[in-house]
Amino acid sequence: MRRINPGVPIYPVDDPRKAYDFTKRVVIAGGAGFLGQALARYLVKQGWSVVILSRRAAREDVLIRTVVWDGRTVGEWKAELEIADAVVNLTGRSVACLYTPENKREILASRVDSVRAIAQAWAKCTTRPPVIVQASSLAFYGDAGDRVCDEYSPPGTGFSVEVCQAWENAFFEQDNGPREVVLRIGFVLGRNGGALEPLAKLARRFVGGAAGNGRQYISWLHINDFCAMVLWVINNQNARTIYNACTPNPVTNAAFMRALRKALGRPWSPPTPAWAVKLGARHIMKADPSLALTGRRCVPRKSLEEGFVMKHTDLDATLRELVKP
């Protein structure tokens, strides 16, 4: 029998919200960012009530509440897990920064600490959420060149790979825990934020050429398919371990930027040499150049084999939809 949330409001008969099954409840840790906000709105439309764990308080909403946590220690937020049907952890300091020693420590700690805090809270719950979905990254595979990477491919090398390995190891080190699912998330495309926004700005300013040689792969995913995949693994009792969250159609950086220019009605732009990318990344964008100059050619083998269907697999159509006014 499904657990009932005693705090769920009852609406008048003529209120359109009455159609929702508010007994379905999800906690999204780190839900204040681009992915979390999109996922929260998507799940509400699917009939779920949502609680976001964030370091900052937010305006109260009937169907999306924000509860403050520090991302490191068990606090009063543990009570939200007691009546949750699922937990999704998207917590992690942005990697769009310079990889200084301090930033590296924060990137790693923000991910591992949040995983362990949720595990400790889960263990203390009397009634426990049956499934936890944990974010990771396709950066696990490193700078893979032309090699096709599915969920069974080995890890690469480098700082980002080490972060992903520590992140996932912290998640799977729990014993006798809930059903556990890791989503290695790719280049998620959506409106008003995320990975697409800075590239679209460049293309609109007629500097949307390939980065470096342009042969590095981008494994992309429409934001709606990302949200649908999260809900699919929550509802699918057979979904376990690791899934690549990307379309089966990765493209090179050069091809991606060509499609983006076409969607925006911009002409051909010359490629930006690697040295210029490094200079601009470090001194203008304040980000590590590897974010633009490395890539991986990933496919979602497991989810395709298990029946998940993506609706947005054509890059040209996806970009036309997302950049139109």
pLDDT in tens, 141-169: 999 999 999 999 999 999 999 999 999 99
More confident residue, 18 or 194: 194
Distance between CA atoms of residues 281 and 288, nearest Å: 6
- Assess contact for 18 and 11: CB atoms under 8 A: yes
Mean pLDDT in the chain?
92
pTM recorded for the entire structure: 0.92
Would you list the domain boundaries of the chain?
A: 23-323
Please identify, in words, the CATH class of the domain defined by 23-323: alpha beta
pLDDT tens digits, 94-119: 999 999 999 999 999 999 999 999 99
Closest CA to 223 of 17, 28, 33: 33
Closest CA to 270 of 202, 319, 320: 202
Q: With pLDDT > 90 as the criterion, what percentage of the chain qualifies?
A: 87
- Assess contact for 180 and 241: CB atoms under 8 A: yes
DSSP state of 264: H
> What Rg value do the Cα atoms of the chain yield, rounded?
20
Q: Is 45 exposed, middle or buried (0-12, 13-18, 19+ CB in 10 A)?
A: exposed
Give Cβ neighbours of residue 261 (< 8 Å, ≥ 6 apart). 203, 208, 267, 268, 269
> What string of H, E and C letters represents the secondary structure of 20-86?
CCCCCEEEEECCCCHHHHHHHHHHHHCCCEEEEEECCCCCCCCCEEEEECCCCCCCCCHHHHHCCCE
pLDDT score at 46: 94
More confident residue, 147 or 59: 147
Rounded to an integer, what is the distance from CA 103 to the centroid of its chain? 20
Q: With pLDDT > 70 as the criterion, what percentage of the chain qualifies?
A: 93
- Assess contact for 269 and 202: CB atoms under 8 A: no
pLDDT tens digits, 203-248: 999 999 999 999 999 999 999 999 999 999 999 999 999 999 999 9
- Assess contact for 291 and 95: CB atoms under 8 A: yes
Angle between the 159-172 and 101-124 helix axes, to the nearest 10 degrees? 10
- Amino acid identity for residue 18 in this structure: K
For 203-215, b/e burial (b = at least 16 CB within 10 A) is: beeeebbbbbebe
pLDDT score at 22: 60
